[in-house]
Amino acid sequence: MKKKSAYEGLQDSIKKLKTPKIDTFKNIYTERNYRITIETPEFTCICPRTGLPDFATITIKYIPEELCVELKSFKEYIVSFRELGIFHENAVNKILEDLAKAVKPRWLRVEGVFNTRGGLQTTVSAKYKKNKKH
C-alpha cells in the first residue's frame, strides 16, 4: 500500500490558501508604461508527493497601474511557501493570482525555474493582462 503524503489533498484548496498580505505603494508615474522586474533565487517549497524540498528562481515582471509591490512584504510572502506542499505549476499560478489581486497591474508575468531533481528541470510561467473596459 502506498504511503499517503502529509501534503496530499492540499492542492485542491490552493486557490483558497491564506497567504501573507503583499503591501503596495502608490505609483506616481501612471502616465507611462514601465516594467518592474523582481527576481528571487531563494524560493523554496515542498514537493507534495515526496515531502522533499524544491528550490527555484522566481522572476516577476509587471507594468504597474496605480500600485507597486513593496519588497519587504513580498519577501515575507515568498518565504511563506517554505513549509508548503505545492506543485510547481500551482506555486507559480498562486503567486500570479496574489500579485494581480494586490497590485492590479496593467500586465504581469511570473516565471518559476525549478532546480533539477530526478533528472528533470521544470520551468512554469503564467501571465495576467488587465482587461480594459471600452
The three-state secondary structure class of 115 is strand
Nearest by Cα to 125 from 98, 93, 102, 103: 93
From the candidates 12, 23, 45, 47, give the one annotated as an active-site residue: 47
Question: Could you confirm whether 45 is annotated as catalytic?
Answer: no
SS3 content of the chain, % helix, strand, coil (to 5): 25, 35, 40
CA distances from 65 to 13, 61, 128 (A): 30, 13, 13
The catalytic residue among 23, 54, 68, 98 is 54
Alpha helix positions (H), the chain? 71-79, 88-103
Spatial contact of 85 and 46, defined as CB atoms under 8 Å apart: yes
Active site residue 68: no
Q: Which residues are catalytic?
A: 47, 54
